[in-house]
Chain A
Amino acid sequence: MNTATATPTKLTRKDFASDQEVRWCPGCGNYSILSQVQKVMPELGYPKEDIVFISGIGCSSRFPYYMATYGFHGIHGRAITLATGLKIANPNLSVWVITGDGDGLSIGGNHFLHGLRRNLDINIILFNNRIYGLTKGQYSPTSEFGKRTKSSPQGTIEHPIRPVRAAIAAEATWVGRSVDADAKHLAKMLKLMARHDGVSFLEVFQNCIIFNDKAFEAFAAKKVRDERMIYLEDGEPLRFGKDREWGLTLDGLTPHKVRIGENGVTEDDILVYDAKNPSMAYLLANLEYPEFPVPVGVFLDVQRDIYEQSLQAQIDEAKSKPGAGDINALLAGPNTWTVD
């Protein structure tokens, strides 16, 4: 399917911006995500025609219209199903799913679970704004317990789901998290997820300026970020703070926030992150502000058989058998008789 004939002109971010007028509310976090995606695309090395953006329903799901690639704006919650069939039909394509907390975890929760465990080589970005935007302000499955919204005037009585934990539990092979406004980090995550062979799942904290403004402000605001978020790096000690003076240690299964140099804590006591270890990933995914810094980065990065490749291998094997693909033999079956 790859069309290698055209001279590989170097694409720029402009080549990925469509002519459609972007219609998100001014100040919406979606803008910066769109901008980073458009910026990163040329660096991935795919011909433009091999890239497909697929979405469900919600504010974030308008995303494909703004990309000058192939785009499919599906129905509520079903983007992963469309992406699954497309990737199976044409494994050459670079397939991106854009979803939100309502689309991906509420109505599309079942596909989230199975799409991740199946491990197709697709990229799923979940814009988590902890609210329903497009339907104008109801609580979402990631809204905090007790949150007052139009549909929960006295506060929600539902415990939220945490996307990263759910993705790890669903057997995803690459799980990451970033923040809309942290452009550099977001771009890095986008590149890493694209390079991962197998399914990659990125949660992006996305600010909905209209219905849930400043939801992540307490820890993600530029001036507090270093102190209140921790950037996970595989093989590196879990340190944070302006001068990396803070760290995390593990006592049994309980993490602790420590200050290096205090109470006899040395650099060597700090936990070294292992992105190949789902248990550690899960442990880190539990950490929340203000008790802990909020981890962003690559939680999990492991390799497993890739669905569309395994399927192709089965097809190749079946085709290599003697008599394979003989349609006349298939139609006749093992037992025939003749009428003259």
Chain B
Amino acid sequence: MSEHKVAELDSVTIRFAGDSGDGMQLTGSRFTDTAALVGNDIATFPDYPAEIRAPAGSLAGVSGFQIQFSSHDIHTPGDRPDVLVAMNPAALKVNLKDLPEGGILVVNENSFTKGNLRLAHYESNPLEDGSLSGYRLIRVPMTDLTVKAVEETGVQRKLAERCKNFFALGVVFFLFERPLDTTIKWIEDKFGGKPEIAQANILALKAGFNFADTIEVFQTIYEVKKAKLPAGTYRSLNGNEAMALGVIAAGVKAGRPIFYGSYPITPASDILHELARHKDFGVKTFQAEDEIAAVGASIGASYGGALAVTGTSGPGVALKTEALGLAVMTELPLLIINVQRGGPSTGLPTKTEQADLFQAVLGRNGESPIPVLAAATPGDCFYVAIEGMRLAVKYMTPVLVLSDGYLANGAEPWRVPDLSELPEIEVKYAEPRDDGEEFKPYDRDPETLIRPWAIPGTRGLEHHIGGLEKDKLTGNVSYDPDNHEYMVKLRARKVAGMVRDIPDLEVSGPQEGELLILGWGSTAGAIISASERLRAQKIPVANAHLRYLNPFPANLGEVLGRYEKVLVPEMNLGQLRKLLQAEFLRPILGLNKVKGQPFKVEEIMDQARAILEQRTVAG
């Protein structure tokens, strides 16, 4: 390696952007794995179009992958990239606005052809017209160099060109002093059956690295040291993987088989794929003919004593809604996972949003209470799945768990837990009996209101359940007005009573004062970062995260009462805000964003500052 000036940085954000066919998601995830293994803290944000292959070179077809890696703990994939890699003019056009002045811009100059410029609506070539003079522009003829580098493998030109993403990765690896070995091993594993393709990709990767070294494209290269994370064994994983692992771990903890009924839907399908691979844990995956069959079969499996889970996204939950009411009425345990995406209707399948909170808490016919939890980070999906299952089984109720597209595909370093650290999940089936007495399926624990889980195959417990209103004791159909009101209230009380099993809300920062920033779901990272930075600037804001959205933690009202103002940033038009206002009869401020994009830390900081300044002025 030739001599380069090495500068140390705390954290860096890189965005890889190219055509959907350019392999940017792969490039980004390879960089992520290496950064994780080197010991950085990481947070990623894959952002890709819904079309598998939008027209090549078009603005609609641009796919991006952003990663922040750092030597301290971080909570977001970074507001704006320090380095932008643009594989074609369209990628440049879409992403340049986010690159700060002076940022490093690496482009594949071979792709700046007349045709591609036109597709990206460029009137003149930005590489030539001086419009990029504010950036540290690095032009690399990536296609040509890649084709030359892989010549010896004899692969066809088309295939050779496709290796250019690894060339780009090599260039970036050099810039941040990253080792190539994990990527090389990954390529060898992935293309094991096609040695010439593996060879070509490895050659491209090395060529990119060496090119950056010998041509001295960068005056300075950067080092980002290991992050000081809590001790332990770590891996990198995304929210969908974490959710699947959480489901499996719940089954292991409970000692009962998992049933997962699902219908393919973006961005939840990867949970099905992951679970289908783990039949060695006795996981039974069922790809249903539609969303309704997926939940129906899950309810049937739960009735049969399995730990049943159905995973989907918002439109799928809409279809499952009637069946969720059936699960409420029959009081059967069921975990429903909603990986939220932009709505309404088909909406933005690959983009993130938090607009299904009302649907989760309220969206059914009749008085139909369902406990709701939301994951805060990709790794938290693991724990939320386990907690959801624990509550479902314990309280004999469906439980809805919310993730979103940002968590589903975003990755972070995750401390691998020991099984003994995880909560116990106790499964109790009603015992067989021979006394000839009639079994009463709705006879319940007087305090928790939990009914027994009596599964077919158990002697002496033959009984009927169903969607019609049931007598409070026998479970027989009952149209009695008083019984109905009693049962409606009982179901509500049972769910409300789960509050005793839910930890209190904890606040970071000042324990009382002017402003509390309260979030739920995937906004956690941006809210924590914003609050920490504000406090570092001596701006006294508190922050808290609501993991349980129904019922709310017991101390929530009291916590809200300790702050003059409460700000709820959400990727919707204020759904948690309205729930809080209705419940606690106090004004709540909202910061709402529905662009299919997560919050930037700055956006939350700006809003908090504005609220506090307004106060100063008014005061």
Contacts and interface: CB of A to CB of B under 8 A. Distances in A.
B462 A111 contact: no
B457 A90 contact: yes
A57 B477 CA distance: 14
Given A72-B465, A81-B300, A339-B234, A3 B36 contact: no
Contacts of A337: 36-39, 233-235
Interface stretch (B190-198, B286-294, B581-589): B286-294
B299 A311 contact: no
B570 interface: no
A113 B288 CA distance: 12
A322 to B, nearest CB: 10
A336 B298 CA distance: 34
Contacts of A232: none
A75 B464 CA distance: 14
A37 to B, nearest CB: 15
Given A75-B326, A86-B304, A338-B232, A49 B296 contact: no
Contacts of A277: none
B230 interface: yes
A253 interface: no
A331 to B, nearest CB: 5
Interface string A64-78: 110011111111001
B74 interface: no
A335 B37 contact: yes
A330 B284 contact: no
A276 interface: no
A85 B286 contact: yes
B230 A78 contact: no
Contacts of B467: 57, 73-75
A20 B301 contact: no
Contacts of A57: 467
A85 B245 contact: no
Contact of A110 (B289, B457, B463): B289
Interface in B329-347: 330
Contacts of B281: 325, 327, 330
Contact of A336 (B235, B279, B300): B235
Interface string B436-467: 00100000000000000001111111111111
A164 interface: no
A93 interface: yes
A307 B428 CA distance: 28
A89 B231 CA distance: 40
B233 A90 contact: no
A73 B465 contact: yes
Contacts of B288: 81, 114
Interface stretch (A28-36, A185-193, A288-296, A313-321): A313-321
Given A81-B296, A89-B259, A70 B417 contact: no
Contacts of B182: 335
Interface string B243-284: 001001100100001010100000000000000001111111
A84 B416 contact: no
Contact of A84 (B297, B306, B477): B297
A41 to B, nearest CB: 12
Contacts of A81: 288, 292-293, 295-297, 299-300
A49 B459 contact: yes
A319 B284 contact: no
B496 interface: no
A96 to B, nearest CB: 12
B109 to A, nearest CB: 34
A85 B293 CA distance: 9
A90 B304 contact: yes
B563 to A, nearest CB: 35
Interface in A73-106: 73-75, 78, 80-90, 92-93
Contacts of A113: 289
Interface of B: 33, 36-39, 182, 226, 228-237, 245, 248-249, 252, 257, 259, 261, 278-284, 286, 288-290, 292-293, 295-306, 308, 322-323, 325-326, 330, 416-419, 432, 434, 438, 455-468, 476-477
Give the top 6 A-B pairs by smallest Cβ distance, nearest first.
A81-B296, A85-B300, A73-B466, A85-B297, A89-B304, A1-B457
